[in-house]
Amino acid sequence: AKMAAVGGYGTTSSQRGATSFQRRTSVGSRRVTVAGTRPSVRHGLLLISSGLPSLDWVIGGGVAVGTLLLIEEDRYGLYSSLLFKYFLAEGVVCGHNLFVASAKVHPDYILKELPAPLLDDTHKTELEEAVKSEESQDSMKIAWRYQNLPKMEASPTTSTKFGHYYDVSKTMSPELLQAIKCHSFYLPEELSSQPTIKTRTMNSAYTRLLQSIQRVICQEGFDGSDPQKKQKNILRIGIQSLGSLLWGDDICSSDTPEDIHSLTKFLYVLRGLLRKSLSACIITVPAHLIQNKAIMERVTNLSDTVVGLESFIGSERETNPLYKDYHGLVHVHQIPRLNSLMCDVSDTKDLAFRLKRKLFSIERLHLPPDLSDTVSRTSKQDLAESAKLLSSGCGAMAIGKKHLDF
Amino acid sequence: GKFMLLRDTRTDGSFLVHHFLSFYLRAGCKVCFVALLQSFNHYNIVAQKLGVNLTAAKDRGQLIFLEGLKSCLDLLFGEEKEQPGQPSPLQFLRESTCNLRALFDFVQTSLNPDSSDSWKVPVLLVDDLSVLLSLGASPVAVLDFMHYCRVTVCSQMKGNIVVLVHSNEDSEDEENELVVNSLCHHSDLILWVEGLATGFCKDVHGQIKIIHRVSLELTGEQDRVQLYQYKIQDKNVTFFAPGLSAAVL
């Protein structure tokens, strides 16, 4: 059966080296796959991993080729840059091509800081043991019969054949990177060249970036336009902190920006480029800095998957015992509804993330049981507030406004 | 000729677009589809699930499809092919003029009856109008465009128009709200899709309010409002009275 990526570009054959994921095809089957991808059968889409299996699970199985994953940065950009690196690291491990664009940090430096993959099975079990030993401290004294029951699934189980785990305490070895074709766009270096595409009042940095992306897609054959350059690989595009002042856009720094359309125009053209090529893109946006909320509404409508990160650093939630196990919340604002009337929204609406020593994971948020007899009014109210905020679910499905009291 | 407004709040109303597209094609109408938000393949794959082949419809001249994403790329990255008689429908992206004249000309040309045409009433379908604002068109330009379309398609050609817009109650997008409210006033029929106020539910995906703007006919009658809930499935959408979803019965 032929699997069509969004935009109609059929998948083609690929024989990759031993280091990258290779899906075993049955003898006689003529279905061939690109490394690091798996089909979403119901929608006829080709999915790639975001680099974080727990994120893949909540956004419908992965990032569809031809789509955009937009991350609303947490206040200090700490965790969003982690997700950014995971996406790129996954591309390295799968043998994909990379395109890294940044206005602040040179892409070479970003690539040097990618987390090391846990490819060896022994490493993975080591990690699991470390996690188990941390949690075995609390052995049960009274309810000891429950000690041996399987722990509640906080993270959904994911197949290890698609998506990998990374150790954030170690950086990826340079040898892995050398095998990968990387394109970079560092704005300060690009400002000297003249933009040649004609567009009415689009921010010139965005114009240059679009040109650069289009050139790579076209010249490297990711859009199938040149039959001689038929590309059998995926291009992973990463753009960091789009919309920030460093990109020449004032939507993050001004209440009344001069040009509110540049970013949305950029996203529209980018969508056109993504849809017609074997590529997928991650963009982080400092949404918390954008005063004009209308812009973020429009940005969301022009993106496919939108995930917001809210870290607890510096907020009152940092010391709130309700959230002691977590470092922040994850809001899935939108999941694409492509090639189908339905979309794969997960049932889990309340998500949080935590960064342990080596592993970053996204989990279903469990509020601890309300055990105290003398719970004060304020903390009960806080619980209700949190529950209300948490229940604002994915925008593709209904968002509840009323808080039901049981 | 009827002007039908599809409006969604806190949820995705695009299933209605797919429905009307396949509905009018099956009914034998000539359809001009201004598809700004998604690629042709997306609509084609969904249409096939609903029993209609868009490629075939295009080939036999029944469907004129404007793939906004592709047009935009052609406009910005295409070689300079000076065709004075054929400006791109999305010309406003490049020009200093702010109006959507080229887009209207495209619609008019597409739906003008050919001598060889045997199709029934023409239909203009737009998905979705809010994108034009994101691309820099002013609300006035968008409303003008819709006005010209209504005059041409509804009054002159006795055809129908179906337009999708997004709106949220606490939206801060004033330009969008202006466009939506203005279109509401001029619509004959409003299909308003909303997410449930009580939150996410697996069996009921939302509610749809059907507003028949009878008051426009100046007979002194009030608008008629019908309320249903719906659930989206792979190949169709089921509608039922509120409280009577399969999960409850």
* 3-class SS string, A267-304: HHHHHHHHHCCCEEEEEEECHHHCCCHHHHHHHHHCCC
* Residue to substitute from B41, B193, B203, interface A, most A β-carbons within 10 A: B41
Distance in angstroms (rounded) separating the CA atoms of residues A158 and A162: 8
Helix extents (H) in A234-391: 262-275, 293-301, 377-390
Window A:243-262, CB contacts with B under 8 Å: 261
Confidence (pLDDT) at A198? 58
Domain check: are B119 and B149 in the same one?
yes
* A 5-34 residues with CB < 8 A to B: 6-8
- In Å, the largest CA–CA distance within chain A is 74
B241 contacts: CB under 8 Å, gap ≥ 6: B228, B229
Nearest to A391 among B38, B46, B199 (CB): B199
pLDDT of residue A69: 97
**pLDDT value of residue B79:** 66
What pLDDT score does A99 carry? 97
In chain A, where the domains are located: 37-127+161-361
CA distance A225 to chain B (A): 13
pLDDT at residue B171, rounded to an integer: 83
For residue A398, the model assigns a pLDDT of 40
Q: Is B134 in the same domain as B110?
A: yes
| Angle in degrees, CA B157, B161, B164, rounded to 5 | 165
Give the count of alpha carbons within 13 A of B85, CB side only. Answer: 1
DSSP codes joined into one string, A63-107: EETT-EEEEEPPTTSHHHHHHHHHHHHHHHHHT-EEEEEESSS-H
Inter-chain CB proximity A341 and B49 less than 8 Å: yes
**Which residue type occupies A397?**
M
Lowest-confidence pick of A160-169, A256-265, A286-295, B1-10: A160-169
Question: pLDDT class for A28, splitting at 50, 70, 90?
Answer: very low
Tell me the chain A residues in contact with residue B49 when contact means C-beta distances shorter than 8 Å: 340-341
Distance of residue A199 Cα from the nearest chain B Cα, in angstroms: 5
Residue of A nearest to B134 (CA): A264
With cut-offs at 50, 70 and 90, classify the pLDDT of residue B81: low
Chain A residues in contact with B41 by the CB 8 A cut-off are 4, 6-8, 339
Q: How much is the average pLDDT of B197-209?
A: 79
Confidence band for A91, pLDDT divided at 50, 70 and 90: very high
A404, pLDDT greater than 50: no
| Mean pLDDT value across residues B198-204 | 75
Average pLDDT over residues B206-217: 84
By the 8 A CB rule, do A339 and B41 touch? yes
Q: Which of A22, A174, A181 is nearest to A97 (CA)?
A: A181
Query: CB neighbours of B180 closer than 8 A, spacing ≥ 6?
Result: B7, B165, B167
DSSP structure class, residue A195: P
Residue A150, pLDDT > 70, answer: no
Which of A269, A276, A297 lies at the smallest CB-CB distance from B171?
A297
Rounded alpha-carbon distances, angstroms, from residue B20 to A101, B25, B29, B68, B180 = 41, 8, 11, 19, 20
Examine the domain organization and report whether B6 and B126 are in the same domain.
yes
B146 and B41 in a common domain = yes
**Topology (CATH level 3) of domain A37-127+161-361:** Rossmann fold (3.40.50)
Contact A339 B198 (CB under 8 A): no
The pLDDT assigned to A371 comes to 63
How far B26 CA sits from the closest chain A CA (Å)?
18
Which residues of chain A are within 8 Å of residue B195 when distances are taken between CB atoms? 397-400
Contact list in B for residue A275 (CB cut-off 8 A) is 38-39, 69
Q: By C-alpha distance, which of A397, A165, A270, A12 is closest to B72? A: A270
Residues B168 and B200 occupy one common structural domain: no
Q: For an interface test with B, which of A303, A341, A344, A346 has the most B Cβ atoms less than 10 Å from its Cβ? A: A341
Of the given ranges (A107-121, A292-306, B73-87), which has the lowest mean pLDDT?
B73-87
Tens of pLDDT, residues A48-88: 999 999 999 899 889 999 999 999 999 999 999 999 999 99
Do residues B240 and B168 share a domain?
no
Is residue B197 over pLDDT 50? yes
- Those of residues 83-122 in A touching chain B at CB distance below 8 A are none
Nearest to A272 among B11, B18, B73 (CB): B73
Q: Tell me: the pLDDT tens digits for B151-183?
A: 999 999 999 999 999 988 788 899 999 999 999
For B5-16, how does the pLDDT look when each residue is reduced to its tens digit (9 = 90+)? 999 988 888 999
Tell me which of B225 and A372 has the higher pLDDT.
Answer: B225
DSSP summary character for residue A250: -
**Contact between A305 and A70 (Cβ < 8 Å):** yes
3-state helix, strand, coil in chain B (%, to 5): 35, 25, 40
A196 touches A240 (CB < 8 A): no
pLDDT band at B246 (very low <50, low <70, confident <90, very high): low
Co-location of B184 and B242 in the same domain: no
Report helix, strand or coil for B8. Answer: strand
Range with lowest mean pLDDT among A36-40, A123-127, B23-27, B74-78: A123-127
Give pLDDT, residue A200: 59
In chain A, residues with a C-beta closer than 8 Å to the C-beta of B197 are 400-402
Is the distance from CB of B133 to CB of B98 less than 8 angstroms? no
Query: Which residues in chain B have Cβ-Cβ distances shorter than 8 Å to A263?
Result: none
- Sign, Cα dihedral of A360, A363, A365, A371: negative
Task: Report d(CA B190, CA B183) in Å as an integer.
Answer: 10
Which has the minimum average pLDDT: A174-178, B53-57, B210-214, B220-224? B220-224
Per-residue model confidence as pLDDT tens digits over A155-177? 333 333 588 999 999 999 999 99
Q: Are B130 and B200 in the same domain?
A: no
Q: Residues B132-139: what's their mean pLDDT? A: 92
What interface predicted TM-score (ipTM) does this complex get? 0.92
Co-location of B117 and B67 in the same domain: yes
pLDDT band at residue B42 using 50, 70 and 90 as cut-offs? very high
Could you tell me the pLDDT band of residue B200, with boundaries at 50, 70 and 90? confident
8 A C-beta contact, residue A26 and residue A127: no
Distance (Å) of CA B73 to CA A304, B5, B129, B183 = 19, 28, 19, 29
Do both B170 and B206 map to the same domain?
Answer: no
Q: What is the pLDDT of residue B154?
A: 93
A391 interaction partners in chain B (CB closer than 8 Å): 199
B216-233: per-residue pLDDT in tens?
777 777 788 888 888 888
Dist. CA B136–CA B55, nearest whole Å: 31
Nearest to A294 among B11, B96, B173 (CB): B173
Interface touch A6/B232, C-beta < 8 Å: no
- The count of domains in chain B is 2
Instruction: Determine, for residues A297 and B168 on separate chains, whether the beta-carbon distance falls below 8 Å.
Output: yes
**At A148, is the pLDDT very low, low, confident or very high (cuts 50, 70, 90)?**
low
Q: What is the pLDDT of residue A378?
A: 47
Amino acid at A312: F
3-state helix, strand, coil in chain A (%, to 5): 30, 20, 50
- Measured in residues, chain A has a length of 406
b vs e for B217-239, b when ≥16 Cβ sit within 10 Å of the residue's Cβ?
eeeeeeeeeeeebbbbeeeebee
Mean predicted confidence (pLDDT) in A202-224: 91
- Residue A26 is encoded by which pair of tokens? 């049955």
Q: How far apart are CA A297 and CA A260, in angstroms?
A: 12
Is the confidence at residue B85, as pLDDT, over 70?
A: no
Residue B89 in this model has a pLDDT that exceeds 70:
yes
Residue A399: pLDDT band (50, 70, 90) is very low
For residue A44, list chain B residues with Cβ-Cβ distance below 8 A.
Answer: 45
Q: What is the pTM (predicted TM-score) of this model? A: 0.83
The residue among B203 and A159 whose pLDDT is bigger is: B203
Give per-residue pLDDT as tens, A130-143.
455 444 545 556 66
Encoded amino acid at A57, one letter:
W
User: What's the burial of B55, exposed, middle or buried (CB within 10 Å: 0-12/13-18/19+)?
Assistant: middle
pLDDT of residue A390: 47
Tell me: pLDDT of A307 over 60. yes
Identify whether residues B49 and B136 lie together within a single domain. Answer: yes
Question: What are A37's two structure tokens?
Answer: 């991808």
Range of the domain at B205: 195-248
With contact defined as beta carbons under 8 Å apart, do B62 and B44 qualify? no
Average pLDDT score over residue span A239-264: 89
Structure tokens at B172: 């801060």
- Domain CATH code at residue B12: 3.40.50.300
Among candidates A296, A302, A182, which has minimal Cα distance to A238? A182
Residues B106-124, mean pLDDT to the nearest whole number: 86
Q: Which residues of A touch B192 (CB under 8 A)?
A: none
In terms of domains, do B132 and B204 share one? Answer: no
Nearest to A400 among B168, B198, B236 (CB): B198
CA atoms of A388 and B244, how far apart (whole Å): 27
- For residue range A323-370, what is the model confidence (pLDDT) as tens digits? 888 899 999 999 898 988 877 666 667 889 999 888 899 988 877 676
Query: Residues 180 to 219 of A: which have CB under 8 A from any B CB?
Result: 197-201, 210, 214
Tell how strand A166-171 and strand A360-364 pair up: unpaired
Q: What is the pLDDT of residues B63-77, one digit of tens each?
A: 999 999 999 999 888
